[in-house]
């Protein structure tokens, strides 16, 4: 039996640190749902990624809030996809959203893709790497200006390269 939580339950689960892998449509990984420039077999992904990276990037899980050191990263540099190295966000667009996940108000041009996500019972916009299709997080319309967007990313899905 599958339980579809309402918004309040879903937020309570996240606040409690529940991390549940959620698979892409048709039971496949994000990369199987669409063709991306960087392709690897599932065995190659498992070999390349840590278990936490694999759960988030390939199974669309969510890391616990406040668990990633990248949430507190303040240096100048670039945040990249942990799966393929694609440059995703400049540190100049990072801000403290108070959510416990690294947040940005704008991605680098062409770095990400989005799709509608209804997995927890209400519509959200999922963010994935434009090069490998790895799940990064979600984007919300409650961020700072100039975009008004909050790209709320899983830190485990990214690496940081200092300037």
Query: Which of 81, 129, 132, 152 is an active site residue?
Result: 152
Are the CB atoms for 125 and 115 separated by under 8 Å?
A: yes
| Nearest-angstrom CA–CA distance, 117 and 10 | 14
DSSP structure string for 22-38:
-PPGGG--HHHHS--SS
| Count of residues in the chain | 163
| Nearest-angstrom CA–CA distance, 163 and 157 | 20
Catalytic: 129? no
* Direct distance between the N- and C-terminal alpha carbons of the chain, in angstroms, rounded to an integer: 49
Active-site residues, by number, are: 152
């Amino acid at each position: 039996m599958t339980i579809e939580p309402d918004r309040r339950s879903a937020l309570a689960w996240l606040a409690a640190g529940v991390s549940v892998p959620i698979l892409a449509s048709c039971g496949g990984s994000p990369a199987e749902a669409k063709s991306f420039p960087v392709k690897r077999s599932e065995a190659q992904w498992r070999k390349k990624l840590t278990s936490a990276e694999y759960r988030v990037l390939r199974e669309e899980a969510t890391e616990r809030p406040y668990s990633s050191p990248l949430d507190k990263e303040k240096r100048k540099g670039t945040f990249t996809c942990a799966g393929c190295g694609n440059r995703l966000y400049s540190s100049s667009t990072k801000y403290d959203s108070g959510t416990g996940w690294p947040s940005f108000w704008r991605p680098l041009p062409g770095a990400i893709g989005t799709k509608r996500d209804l997995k927890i019972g209400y519509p959200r916009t999922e963010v994935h790497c434009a090069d490998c299709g790895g799940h990064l997080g979600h984007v919300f319309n409650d961020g700072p200006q100039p975009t008004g967007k909050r790209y709320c990313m899983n830190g485990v899905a990214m690496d940081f390269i200092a300037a």
